[in-house]
Amino acid sequence: MQQSQLEPDDLVRYLDECLQCYGGKEYLEQFSWVDNLKKVGKPATIEELDTLLIKIIKSKKHDEISIVVPEVMSDEEIEYFSFTRAKQNTSYNIDKTIYFNAIDFLSFDIDRMKRDKLFAFDNQGSEVKSFSIYKCINLEVTHKRKNYMLFLGQWFEIEKKFSEYVEKELKFIPTHKNTFPDLIRKIDKATMKEKLESEGDYNERICKSRNYILMDRKLVKSSRTTTSIELCDIADVKNKILIHAKHRKGGSSGLSHLFAQASVASELILSDEEFRKAARIVIKENHGNAAMNLIPAKKIKSSEFEIVLLMLGCDNTKLLKDLPFFSKVNLMNTYTNLTQRGYKVTVASAK
């Protein structure tokens, strides 16, 4: 019930419902890990952690820091990024070295960081949005024998055992046996800036070079979802490999979409016969009868399928290590949920 629809006599009942939701435990079914995070509210502790953040930046230990877009934004909406004091120095991915190299370390402090901006531009060079750098920083630190994380401009205390558990679980996630080619980089004649190959162009190129079928933007209807979804982005029909690909250029939001897409599509393949029928029709319309063998209409065995989570714009040697903490948790949960359903799940990257 929306507040605008409330009658005065309904207010008490509505507040009772709010209180019940607040004290409920339904979230534990899918988000039990949230209880391992505690928002830091003590001003003195926040000040100590902010001081530690500035110290890390001034010591130039920038490998420990990630800069990400603090909200969900589509790849089509954003083309380039830049920073305060280096606004003309744009990059297709968020290049944190541009920001750190432009800092005057002698006068740099937490207030200046909060004023500094990450700028996002569209493909016409127009500024779309800007964000405080402080809200864009992802950082995990140890302070007074406790683990903390800065995320969306807020410090959280992380249960040490949970942090260790996440890192341990990630080591069990296998890498796809085949490597993927790097993204193509070229100079945009209009802006004279380096432009990274789009997700759509990359998917098309891979399909042509490897005899895969393209399912990117080939939407399948399902009565169980509010909108039509993609079966996957790329598929190897012969080996029943479903590849979900996503750019990481904006940070964690793109990866969240990647993991969610893979989870939803994979679960519908198993549980929804109508979805499978609709998927087979889409496959036939775009790739012919033979390609329909990818998705059986009736009996289906999840063990026959491999789900590949392909992260575009990631360093192959640091694929899982460089992920923001929440992306690590999201990936761990996606891997666990899909493997429990019998799927083989692997990760891959393209630099």
Q: Summarize the confidence of residues 30-48 as an average pLDDT.
A: 81
Residue 188 scores a pLDDT above 70: yes
Q: Left if phi > 0, otherwise alpha if psi is -120 to 50, otherwise beta: which for 161? A: alpha
Residue 31 scores a pLDDT above 70: no
For the question of whether the overall pTM of this predicted structure is more than 0.75, the answer is no
- When pLDDT is cut at 50, 70 and 90, the band that residue 24 belongs to is low
What share of the chain in percent tops pLDDT 70? Answer: 90
- When pLDDT is cut at 50, 70 and 90, the band that residue 93 belongs to is confident
Residue 2 scores a pLDDT above 60: no
Both structure tokens of 9: 């006599």
pLDDT confidence of residue 5: 65
pLDDT tens sequence across 163-174: 889 999 999 999
- When pLDDT is cut at 50, 70 and 90, the band that residue 314 belongs to is confident
Please state, in angstroms and rounded to a whole number, the distance separating the CA atoms of residues 230 and 217.
6
pLDDT tens sequence across 101-110: 999 999 999 9
Q: Summarize the confidence of residues 218-245 as an average pLDDT.
A: 91
- When pLDDT is cut at 50, 70 and 90, the band that residue 132 belongs to is very high
Domain residue spans of the chain: 3-36, 38-158, 185-350
pLDDT tens sequence across 268-305: 999 999 999 999 999 999 999 999 999 998 889 999 99
- When pLDDT is cut at 50, 70 and 90, the band that residue 28 belongs to is very low
Q: Left if phi > 0, otherwise alpha if psi is -120 to 50, otherwise beta: which for 342? A: left
pLDDT tens sequence across 203-224: 999 999 999 999 999 999 888 7
- When pLDDT is cut at 50, 70 and 90, the band that residue 63 belongs to is confident
Which of 13-27, 183-197, 266-280 has maximum average pLDDT?
A: 266-280
Q: Which range has the worst mean pLDDT, 30-39, 74-83, 325-334?
A: 30-39
What share of the chain in percent tops pLDDT 90? Answer: 54
Q: Summarize the confidence of residues 235-261 as an average pLDDT.
A: 84
- When pLDDT is cut at 50, 70 and 90, the band that residue 267 belongs to is very high
pLDDT confidence of residue 7: 75
Q: Summarize the confidence of residues 22-33 as an average pLDDT.
A: 57
Look at 99 and 298; give whichever has higher pLDDT.
99
Please state, in angstroms and rounded to a whole number, the distance separating the CA atoms of residues 351 and 349.
6
- When pLDDT is cut at 50, 70 and 90, the band that residue 11 belongs to is confident
Look at 288 and 323; give whichever has higher pLDDT.
288
pLDDT confidence of residue 27: 47
